[in-house]
């Protein structure tokens, strides 16, 4: 005290007190924060209630509290507690511990597409990363070294393990943004705030807790999260605080060390939260349009193309309406140009239509996605969407009935509808399939018969030659098929018409295809009663396409 007195007399300023990294606990009542309890999901309420009844602390935490404070209905609810993952799991019938880097619990409600996941995390301790166990490689190359470690970093300071439990104030300090570090108790309706998150929410500021550059180094994915929140909240007037935004570009190279599977997931979050176009605009605004992730570079590059932009707008619309969205559909739209161009190139080289399409799809996967998706359900769904596109042009016989029963028909139809809306197909085709998909069997039969009749009534000059190969020439120079009444046209694949026309101009012969055997008229009615009217037209090719589309690896 005497020293401070003499320092004051001599005009010396007292050293600034060290800032408490854990902040100061503030409890904010409902009259101040204004959260409407009716916006809280009952399943999240149930998780909090169950944990508290078992003697633990429990709060709704993160972005859900921010959204509730802004008067928005959160799409996801996370819960934080002082119970360990094992203790949480034991309290719920359908609960699963997931993750290695951060061990958390998923509590599952409902089944199928209607299921809801409440993510429950344990309060984590705030630890000095300089004192953490260090590994030489990264999370992917050092799996054996990381086994059993609770707190570990790599040589760059990136946190690879963070599973040391601690008190609530330390848990708040290790979260990323102040507006995501508030805790809400739905029973007492108290908001707990350690880092002035409510103040920043009112000021519409997105601010990192602690030094931004250090926090980006600890977990580079926070770079993408900063962009995502800035895009998502831009419409509400939020912006990145300057000290939070300034290290973003310089820190971008840190993302190269993040496992590709995690980057793939973060890219999907960026594009599927209902603000895909806003996120792309924010990346451009921040000077980060390239270099985050190769596939994201393609999305940003093609975002202004009418077809891709329509797909992004459609995704944003569906999220806004609370409808489900699938990453397979959006990525199929983004990479369609690669598939289509590769398909056309192979057709020009006289490759048959279906193999040409399959090869073009494989090339697109290898060039743009690699092994990230594991060639699993995502790749299977994308493949189904693409391989169904030629089949939409076949509307006679049993082809239409078989196509509409495919598990991925709706996604493939939506894809075809976007193609039609952007001038790649006639919109009448999209309208026909929309009506066909909702009609009963009688009306479907009438629609198919009408298409067949329309095709038969077309002028012969307007019809595409229904042959697999060029007819041979007779002595008078006319096609032999015109000089002999015995010749009959052979059913063909509509996608081979271009091959026929190309061959007609250069005098070469189109690739031969196996002719389908015709049934003898003398055979019994029971032997030939497998198909309806019009089924013979292109049936061999339809069956081949159906078999290819129903192979085990292409099913959902």
Which residues are tagged catalytic? 76, 78, 176
β-partners of residue 59 are 80
Cα–Cα distance between 411 and 553 in angstroms, integer?
17
- DSSP characters over 469-485: SPPPB-TTSSBHHHH-T
- Residue 211: Cβ-neighbour burial (10 angstroms; 0-12, 13-18, 19+): exposed
Of 142, 134, 101, 140, nearest in space to 259 by CA = 140
Question: Measuring CA to CA, how many Å separate 350 from each of 358, 467, 496, 547?
Answer: 15, 15, 9, 22
Angle between helix 409-421 and 306-320 (nearest 10): 130
Helix (H, G, I), strand (E, B) or coil at 192: strand
**Who contacts 295 (Cβ-Cβ below 8 Å, separation ≥6)?**
264, 267, 331, 368, 369
Please, which residues have CB within 8 angstroms of residue 72's CB and are 6 or more apart in sequence? 39
CA dihedral sign, ordered 468, 473, 478, 484: negative
Tokens of 450: 């009408």
| DSSP 8-state class, residue 434 | H
Pairing of strands 239-240, 205-206: parallel
Neighbour tally for 381: CB within 10 Å = 24
Sheet holding 58-61, edge to edge: 26-28, 190-193, 182-185, 58-61, 78-81, 116-122, 104-109, 95-98
Q: Give me the DSSP letters along 128-190.
A: -GGGSEE-SS-TTT-HHHHTT-SEEE-TT--EEEE--B--HHHHHHTSSBGGG-EEEETTTTE
Is residue 303 classed as helix, strand or coil in its secondary structure?
coil
Q: How far apart (Å, rounded) are the C-alpha atoms in residues 464 and 77?
A: 58
């Amino acid at each position: 005290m005497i020293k401070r007195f003499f320092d004051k007399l001599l005009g010396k300023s007292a050293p600034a007190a060290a800032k408490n990294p854990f902040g100061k606990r503030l409890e904010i009542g409902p009259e101040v924060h204004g959260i409407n309890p009716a916006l809280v999901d009952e399943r999240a309420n149930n998780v909090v209630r169950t944990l508290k009844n078992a003697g633990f602390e429990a709060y709704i935490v993160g972005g859900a509290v921010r959204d509730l404070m802004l008067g928005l209905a959160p799409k996801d609810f996370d819960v934080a507690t002082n119970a360990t993952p094992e203790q949480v799991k034991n309290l719920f019938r359908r609960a699963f511990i997931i993750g290695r880097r951060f061990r958390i619990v998923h509590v599952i409600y409902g089944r199928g597409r209607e299921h809801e996941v409440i993510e429950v995390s344990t309060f984590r301790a705030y630890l000095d990363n300089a004192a953490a166990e260090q590994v030489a490689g990264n999370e992917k190359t050092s799996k054996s070294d990381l086994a059993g470690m609770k707190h570990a970093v790599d040589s760059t300071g990136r946190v690879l393990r963070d599973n040391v439990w601690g008190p609530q104030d330390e848990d708040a300090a290790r979260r990323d943004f102040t507006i995501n570090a508030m805790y809400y108790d739905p029973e007492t309706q108290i908001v707990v705030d350690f880092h002035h998150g409510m103040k920043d929410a009112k000021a519409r500021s997105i601010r990192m807790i602690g030094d931004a550059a250090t926090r980006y180094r600890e977990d580079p994915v926070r770079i993408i999260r900063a962009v995502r929140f800035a895009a998502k909240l831009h419409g509400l007037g939020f912006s990145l605080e300057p000290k939070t935004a300034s290290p973003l570009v310089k820190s971008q190279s840190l993302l190269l060390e993040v496992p590709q599977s995690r980057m793939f997931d973060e890219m999907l979050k960026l594009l599927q939260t209902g603000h895909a176009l806003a996120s792309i605009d924010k990346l451009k605004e921040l000077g980060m349009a390239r270099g985050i992730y190769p596939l994201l570079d393609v999305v940003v590059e093609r975002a202004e193309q009418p077809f891709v932009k329509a797909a992004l707008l459609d995704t944003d619309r569906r999220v806004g309406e609370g409808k489900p969205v699938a990453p397979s559909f959006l990525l199929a739209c983004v990479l369609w140009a690669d598939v289509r161009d590769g398909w056309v190139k192979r057709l020009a080289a006289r490759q048959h239509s279906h193999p040409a399409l399959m090869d073009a799809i494989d090339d697109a996967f290898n060039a743009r996605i690699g092994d990230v998706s594991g060639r699993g359900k995502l790749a299977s769904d994308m493949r189904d969407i693409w391989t169904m596109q030629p089949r939409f042009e076949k509307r006679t016989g049993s082809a239409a009935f078989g196509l509409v029963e495919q598990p991925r028909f709706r996604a493939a139809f939506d894809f075809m509808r976007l193609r039609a809306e952007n001038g790649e197909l006639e919109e009448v085709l999209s309208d026909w399939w929309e009506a066909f998909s909702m009609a009963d069997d009688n009306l479907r039969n009438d629609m198919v018969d009408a298409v067949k009749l329309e095709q038969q009534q077309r002028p012969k000059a307007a019809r595409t030659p229904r042959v697999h190969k060029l007819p041979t020439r007779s002595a008078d120079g006319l096609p032999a098929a015109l000089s002999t009444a015995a010749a009959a046209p052979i059913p063909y694949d509509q996608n081979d018409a271009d091959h026929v026309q190309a061959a007609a101009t250069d005098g070469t012969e189109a690739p031969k295809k196996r002719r389908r055997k015709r049934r003898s008229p003398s055979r019994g009615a029971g032997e030939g009663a497998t198909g309806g009217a019009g089924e013979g037209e292109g049936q061999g090719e339809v069956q081949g396409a159906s078999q290819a589309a129903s192979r085990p690896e292409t099913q959902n």
